[in-house]
Structure 1
Amino acid sequence: MILVINCGSSSLKFSLFDGEERVQSGLVERIGEVGPELVVGEQRCQVVAGDHGEAMQRVHEVMGVDNAIEAIGHRIVHGGERFFAAELVTPEVERGIEDCAALAPLHNPAHLAGIRAAREYFPEVPQVVVFDTAFHQTLPERAYLYALPYELYEQEGIRRYGFHGTSHRYVAQRAAELLQVEQFTGITCHLGNGSSLAAIRDGQSVDTSMGLTPLAGVAMGTRSGDVDPAAVFHLARRRELSLEQIETMLNHESGLLGLSGRSQDLREVEQAALEGDKRCLRALEVFTYGVRKYIGAFLAVLGRIDAVVFTGGIGENSAAARRWILQDMKHLGLELDSARNRAHVGREGEISSFGAKTRILVVPTNEELVIVRETRDVLVGSAGATDHG
């Protein structure tokens, strides 16, 4: 069995897999805050979880002694340029994750806390780290470099990294299976509270909408997406805001929430727009237009594509958002079938019109399964290297 761990700054999600089947999952939330809770299935109870160590102790108690855990796979948000693939946790790997913490200060320290806590409560179990950024390490220089002084890239690592890599990898592989092609070439749209698109050629990422951080790209639940950098200077001067205040605004008070003034949840924004709320309608238009614009840009990058694939909470479940995104794209070979689109809410399948030049798919993502597979591959590779040593 493989235990998958995803640590946030104040949460710890866990799932136990037997082969490729999830047999148990849960969440410890509000770690280090007032009233931390353990959620397993429909059950919710208050627990002691002052830090990630105590939260991992709660996970250990849930797992019990009967679960033969072979390995623990951790999701890591940022691997910088250091990590191209999943790796077995070693002191050197931990130092590498720590070195990348400046690029993801809200995420990597929490991931390290999870690794160290797991070592304490599962001391004999090997641990593997799987990086969100690794899938995008195939981007060419022309796609990942910013037009800034080059020494900022050399000395500070300022470049486009991209995120949601495990999701883009999974849906690209699954799309190849559905389309019966050896390697997928196309555009994957991971749309949810956080959203990103990827241009994929022959199974490899060649461009993506997120950048140095997950703030760039299309508008999201609370994140602004692409904004003229000069807006930061303007706000600092005119509103006398600090960098920290502007950072909070762009990450937590913008996107659908900021535009609508109502919610970061697209379902609520859609419903309010239908009821005549003009701000919500405007927020919906900005979000879907941004996705459509990136699809057009990535079509120009790739030329020929097999399909456009929708995934993530919005991509899988909002037929209305998909319809808005793909409107007026028939001239580019993208033609949505209305009945198919409505029928594929939360389930896999094709939603393009019969005979359309380019296929359009809905593929529910499964990032945890990618972590399970990559964890197992690392263990097999590690065992092989030991045998040949």
Structure 2
Amino acid sequence: MHDVILVLDSGSSSLKFAVYEITSGAAPLSRLAHGQVEGLGTHPHFTAFDAEGHEADNSLLPANSSANPHEQAMGTVLAWLQAHRDGTHRLVAAGHRVVHGGRVFASPVRINSEVLLKLDALSSLAPLHQPPALRAIRALQARLPELPQVACFDTAFHRTQPEVAQAYALPRSLSDQGIRRYGFHGLSYQYISQTLPQFLGDKAGGKVVVAHLGNGASMCGMKGQRSMATTMGFTALDGLVMGTRCGNLDPGVVLHLIEQKGLSPAEVSDLLYKRSGLLGVSGLSSDLRELLDSDAPTAQEAIELFVYRAVRELGSLVAALGGLDALVFTAGIGEHSTEIRQRICEQSQWLGIEMDQQANAQHGPRITAADSPVSVWVIPTNEESVIAEAVQQVLVLQR
């Protein structure tokens, strides 16, 4: 009998899953299947793929507008797994991507009622991500109450930052209550940090900036493969321009929207999380691919702002690190957009970046000339494998 771990990444309208087989010794975990349920709450659609990436299922599900559509999605995933087990695989645990761990959680933790209450209290700090993750956890609890579940946090990787990098210039009473810079996308950064030696060799422990560019976007400056500074702060709104999120914003704008424009806190939250970013600037789309294909002036302005903010934040992180040995692009835009990588690197030539155009067009892995003082890389991220490994470690520690 082979033990397997279920990895879950829950969004407001989707539930992604992967199944990993626990291996013996130091061998990496083996992914047996993955897939997702999209369109939760409207027209749910289930897809699944086997270990080789071949489509194993593609089906529409009955429309469901219940208060917790994740229950239906979880039921679909578990039913599919049960139907496709050959009798030799046993589900022993589940791991969840949880965006915010606050000050309390700096490492993966087994979920119980006390942990759930603490995670609930952090929902307002990550309103797009935390509530869906908690709904998925509870949906799985309802169906398999005895199954161990482990929360893995996007904030945890950044706890190695020096205190000055985590602080805001606010009264100490507020800082002591947990108002500080947390940083996010930590599971992605952890994966990249672990793979750096394969690409950078003895420079893996040097001064490296990783650009996680997707619908959500941030950058992280690393030394010794540890987080030293990052662009996101107290919430996942800060830093770079994102698909629908504003990125860096003068706090006075929020006061102006409330005091002069009469917006309620809920309306401000909706504006900054769901109607800003690329969507807000372009007035067309939150998808950078669509904007790159558009001739509309507002689309081009949105792209220019996205690149400008990335270049500005890159310079800030280089200053925090005291130099730069390598730049890594990852996530959807970072891994696949030749043009965005080109624009960012061209505007950062002062750092000593000398592009290899052909390598960039082929998506790397190295996209700079061999003698470039700063090397630039394209490295696909794999957050789900980080979660699966963390779950395995928690299980081992608790035996």
CA–CA distance in 2 between the matches of 1:58 and 1:316? 31
Secondary structure at the aligned position of 1:292 is classed as: helix
The equivalent of 2:214 in structure 1 is 192
The equivalent of 2:37 in structure 1 is 28
Contact 2:237 2:273 (C-alpha < 8 Å) held by counterparts: yes
Aligned-pair distance for 1:184?
Answer: 5.2
1:254-333 aligned at under 5 Å gives the runs 254-272=276-294, 275=295, 277-333=296-352
1:38-62 deviation per Cα after TM superposition (whole angstroms, max 9, x unaligned): 3334612123753233332222211
Aligned-pair distance for 1:282?
Answer: 1.4
TM-score (normalised: structure 1): 0.90
Query: Counterpart of 1:172 in structure 2: which amino acid?
Result: S
TM-score (normalised: structure 2): 0.88
CA–CA distance in 2 between the matches of 1:271 and 1:98? 40
Query: Counterpart of 1:101 in structure 2: which amino acid?
Result: S
Q: 1:68 to 1:323 in 2, by over 3 A?
A: same
Question: Aligned to 1:247, which of 259, 265, 269?
Answer: 269
1:103-156 deviation per Cα after TM superposition (whole angstroms, max 9, x unaligned): 23443333233223223323443221110110011122211111122211223x
Q: 1:92 to 1:278 in 2, by over 3 A?
A: same
Secondary structure at the aligned position of 2:211 is classed as: strand
The equivalent of 1:14 in structure 2 is 17
Where does the alignment leave 5 or more consecutive residues of structure 2 unmatched? 23-28, 49-54
Aligned-pair distance for 1:36?
Answer: 3.6
Q: 1:37 to 1:331 in 2, by over 3 A?
A: closer
CA–CA distance in 2 between the matches of 1:130 and 1:167? 12
Q: 1:257 to 1:105 in 2, by over 3 A?
A: closer
Question: Aligned to 2:60, which of 39, 45, 49?
Answer: 45
Q: 1:339 to 1:10 in 2, by over 3 A?
A: closer
Contact 2:211 2:219 (C-alpha < 8 Å) held by counterparts: yes
Aligned-pair distance for 1:309?
Answer: 0.4
Contact 2:42 2:63 (C-alpha < 8 Å) held by counterparts: no
Query: Counterpart of 1:71 in structure 2: which amino acid?
Result: A
Matched, 1:378 2:361: no
Contact 2:158 2:227 (C-alpha < 8 Å) held by counterparts: yes
Query: Counterpart of 1:190 in structure 2: which amino acid?
Result: H
Query: Counterpart of 2:58 in structure 1: which amino acid?
Result: Q
Matched, 1:163 2:184: yes
Contact 1:307 1:359 (C-alpha < 8 Å) held by counterparts: yes
Query: Counterpart of 2:195 in structure 1: which amino acid?
Result: R
Where does the alignment leave 5 or more consecutive residues of structure 1 unmatched? 384-389
Give RMSD over aligned pairs. 2.0
Contact 1:175 1:309 (C-alpha < 8 Å) held by counterparts: no
1:39-78 aligned at under 5 Å gives the runs 39-40=47-48, 41=55, 43-47=58-62, 50=66, 51=68, 52-64=70-82, 66=85, 67-78=89-100
Aligned residues: 375
Secondary structure at the aligned position of 2:105 is classed as: coil
Matched, 1:4 2:7: yes
Q: 1:34 to 1:371 in 2, by over 3 A?
A: same
Question: Aligned to 1:131, which of 146, 153, 157?
Answer: 153
Contact 2:324 2:351 (C-alpha < 8 Å) held by counterparts: no
